C-alpha cells in the first residue's frame, strides 16, 4: 500500500460520503481516476438506478482513461441490474490498474468483479483503507449478508441519565445543536422506529428537516435526491389515533401492531395511501422485535434508527438488536424522581454486562454526544466480519 494509493483512496472515501444520504438501498461508493499523477475524473453513486461511481468518474474524465488507475471504495459490480456492470466498463475503457478499499459481500458480486478485472489483465490492488471504507458502509455490509437491518439507537438524556421529568416534560434536555445532529442521523437512515407511547406523549414528526442540518452536511447532499425515511410506529395494542398526530400526516408509515392470532402474523392492512398496518407476534407484551426487523429486512431496509422512550429503546438493547448507540447528554440534572434513560434487564455478574466501544465524542456547546458501538459488533466491523 503506497502513500499515493492512500492519498487517492482517501479522496474516493470522502466522495462516497456524499452518497450516504441518497444511495439507498445501494451502498455509498466513490471513485477517483488518476493517470501520471493527475486526476482525470471523479464521481460517486447518487441514487439507485443512476450510474455507479465508476461510470460517474469515467464520464467526468470524458472516457479518456486508457492506462490510468481507478481508485474505488467498493469492489466494482459484476452483474446486470438497473445499470451495466462497472467491472466490464473499466475493462472496456482500458484502465491499467484498479485499487479497491473493500470487497462487496453482496452475493451477486462477491469476488466476481475482481475476477473480471484480473481475467482482462488489469492489476487489482485490494484492502487499501479497507477498515475506513467498510465502516462507512457498515449498515449495508450487515444488511446485505443477513436478515436484519443495521440498528442505531438514540437517547437524549440529562447528566443523571434521565430522559424526562416525572410529569413527562422533556423539551428540551439537549440544545439545538444536538437536535440538528439528530436530523443528520435521521437523514442517514432508511427508517425511523418509535413507539405509540412516544407519539402520544410528544406528538413528534419524526421526519428529516433538511433546513435544520448544518451547512457542511447540506453541501454534501444532492438535493434532487433527498428522501424521507420510512416511519415505523410500534402500536402493540392499537391505541394510537392516526388522525390526531403529526407523524401520520407526512410520508410513509408502518403501524406495527400485535396479534395473538397466528393467521394474522405479517398480514398487511392498507389504512390509506401512506399508512399500512402490519401485524406481528406479541413477545413480553410488545411487538416481537426480531420478527419486526426481519420484516424490515425483507423491505430492503438497510439502516434502522430507533428514536423512542426508554422502554422500547431498552427492549432493543436487551434483545441484542442494537448495533450502535448515540447518547446525547445535556447539561442538566433532573433529579431522582425523573424518568430513567434505560430500563435494562438485571445482571448478576459483571462479565455478562453489555460492553460498548466508544467510537466518537463530539461537543455541542454544553452538550456532549457519545457514539458507542456494541463491543462485539465493533470487533466484527473493524475485522470486516459483520
Q: 252-271: per-residue pLDDT in tens?
A: 999 999 999 999 999 999 99
Give the sign of the dihedral formed by CA 382, CA 28, CA 217, CA 386. Answer: negative
Which residues partner with 162 through β-bridges?
340
Residues 235 and 106 in one domain: no
Q: Choose one of 136, 171, 206: the last residue of a domain.
A: 136
Q: What is the pLDDT of residue 286?
A: 94
Residues 216 and 278 in one domain: yes
d(CA 380, CA 366): 33
Which tens digit of pLDDT belongs to each residue from 63-118?
999 999 999 999 999 877 766 799 999 999 999 999 999 998 887 778 899 999 99
CATH code, domain carrying 43:
3.40.140.10
Q: Choose one of 109, 136, 163: the last residue of a domain.
A: 136
d(CA 189, CA 227): 10
CATH code, domain carrying 185:
3.40.430.10
Residues 207 and 333 in one domain: yes
d(CA 29, CA 87): 14
Residues 364 and 288 in one domain: yes
Domain that holds residue 25: 3-136
Residues 246 and 114 in one domain: no
Contact between 182 and 154 (Cβ < 8 Å): yes
Contact between 33 and 71 (Cβ < 8 Å): yes
Query: Mean pLDDT, to the nearest integer, of 24-35?
Result: 96
C-alpha cell at 47: 441514487
Cα-to-chain-centroid distance, residue 54:
22
Residues 220 and 284 in one domain: yes
Q: How many residues comprise the chain?
A: 386
C-alpha cell at 151: 440498528
Residues 78 and 187 in one domain: no
Which uninterrupted H or E stretch holds 315? helix 310-318
Closest CA to 278 of 290, 295, 266: 266
Residues 93 and 164 in one domain: no
- 282: how many CB neighbours lie within 10 A of its CB? 16
Residues 225 and 348 in one domain: yes
Closest CA to 187 of 90, 303, 100: 303
C-alpha cell at 10: 482517501
Contact between 289 and 296 (Cβ < 8 Å): no
Q: Which residues are catalytic?
A: 54
List b or e across 243-260, with b for residues whose CB sees 16 or more CB atoms inside 10 angstroms.
Answer: eebebbeebebbbbbbbe
Domain count, the chain: 2
d(CA 109, CA 76): 8
Closest CA to 161 of 360, 18, 329, 292: 329
What is the SS3 assignment for 178?
helix
Which tens digit of pLDDT belongs to each residue from 312-345?
999 999 999 999 999 999 999 988 888 888 888 8
What's the pLDDT band for 15 if we cut at 50, 70, 90? very high
Query: Mean pLDDT, to the nearest integer, of 43-61?
Result: 95
Residues 177 and 116 in one domain: no
Q: What is the pLDDT of residue 381?
A: 62
Q: What is the pLDDT of residue 225?
A: 81
Q: What is the pLDDT of residue 177?
A: 92
Helix ranges, 102-233 (H)? 112-119, 130-136, 138-143, 176-188, 196-202, 215-220
- 241: how many CB neighbours lie within 10 A of its CB? 10
Closest CA to 304 of 6, 5, 25, 77: 25
* 91 HSE (CA, 13 A, CB side): 17
Q: Choose one of 136, 163, 181: the last residue of a domain.
A: 136
Burial of 97 (0-12, 13-18, 19+ CB in 10 A): middle
Contact between 128 and 100 (Cβ < 8 Å): yes
Closest CA to 342 of 320, 369, 309: 309
Residues 61 and 209 in one domain: no
Closest CA to 312 of 322, 302, 303, 299: 322
Residue 230 pLDDT greater than 60, yes or no: yes
Residues 125 and 159 in one domain: no
Contact between 94 and 67 (Cβ < 8 Å): yes
Higher pLDDT, 168 or 271: 271
What's the pLDDT band for 377 if we cut at 50, 70, 90? low
Amino acid at each position: 500500500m503506497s502513500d499515493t494509493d492512500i492519498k487517492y483512496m482517501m479522496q474516493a472515501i470522502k466522495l462516497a460520503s456524499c452518497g450516504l444520504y441518497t444511495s439507498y438501498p445501494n451502498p455509498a461508493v466513490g471513485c477517483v481516476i488518476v493517470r501520471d499523477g493527475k486526476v482525470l475524473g471523479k464521481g460517486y453513486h447518487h441514487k439507485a438506478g443512476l450510474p455507479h461511481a465508476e461510470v460517474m468518474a469515467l464520464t467526468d474524465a470524458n472516457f479518456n482513461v486508457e492506462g490510468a488507475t481507478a481508485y474505488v471504495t467498493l469492489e466494482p459490480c459484476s452483474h446486470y441490474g438497473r445499470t451495466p456492470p462497472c467491472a466490464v466498463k473499466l475493462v472496456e475503457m482500458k484502465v491499467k490498474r484498479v485499487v479497491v478499499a473493500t470487497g462487496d459481500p453482496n452475493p451477486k458480486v462477491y469476488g466476481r468483479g475482481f475476477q473480471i478485472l484480473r481475467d482482462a489483465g488489469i492489476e487489482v490492488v485490494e484492502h487499501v483503507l479497507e477498515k475506513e471504507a467498510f465502516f462507512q458502509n457498515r449498515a449495508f455490509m450487515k444488511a446485505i449478508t443477513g436478515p436484519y437491518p443495521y440498528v442505531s439507537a438514540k437517547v437524549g438524556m440529562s447528566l443523571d441519565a434521565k430522559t424526562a421529568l416525572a410529569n413527562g416534560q422533556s423539551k428540551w434536555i439537549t440544545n439545538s445543536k444536538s437536535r440538528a445532529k439528530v436530523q443528520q442521523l435521521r437523514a442517514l437512515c432508511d427508517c425511523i422506529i418509535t413507539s405509540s407511547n412516544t407519539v402520544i406523549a410528544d406528538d413528534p414528526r419524526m421526519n428529516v428537516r433538511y433546513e435544520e442540518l448544518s451547512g457542511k452536511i447540506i453541501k454534501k447532499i444532492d438535493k434532487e435526491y433527498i428522501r424521507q425515511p420510512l416511519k415505523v410506529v410500534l402500536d402493540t395494542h392499537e391505541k394510537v389515533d392516526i388522525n390526531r398526530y403529526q407523524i401520520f400526516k407526512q410520508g410513509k408509515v408502518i403501524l406495527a401492531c400485535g396479534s395473538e392470532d397466528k393467521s394474522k402474523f405479517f398480514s398487511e392492512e392498507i389504512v390509506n395511501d401512506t399508512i399500512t398496518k402490519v401485524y406481528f407476534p406479541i413477545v413480553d407484551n410488545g411487538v416481537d422485535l426480531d420478527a419486526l426487523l426481519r420484516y424490515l429486512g425483507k423491505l430492503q431496509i438497510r439502516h434502522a434508527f430507533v428514536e423512542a422512550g426508554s422502554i422500547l429503546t431498552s427492549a432493543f438493547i436487551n434483545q441484542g438488536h442494537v448495533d450502535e448507540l448515540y447518547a446525547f447528554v445535556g447539561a442538566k440534572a433532573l433529579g431522582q424522581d425523573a424518568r430513567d434513560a434505560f430500563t435494562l434487564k438485571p445482571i448478576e455478574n459483571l462479565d455478562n454486562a453489555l460492553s460498548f466501544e466508544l467510537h466518537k465524542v463530539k461537543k455541542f456547546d454544553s452538550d456532549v454526544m457519545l457514539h458507542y458501538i456494541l463491543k462485539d459488533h465493533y470487533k466484527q466491523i473493524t475485522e470486516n466480519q459483520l
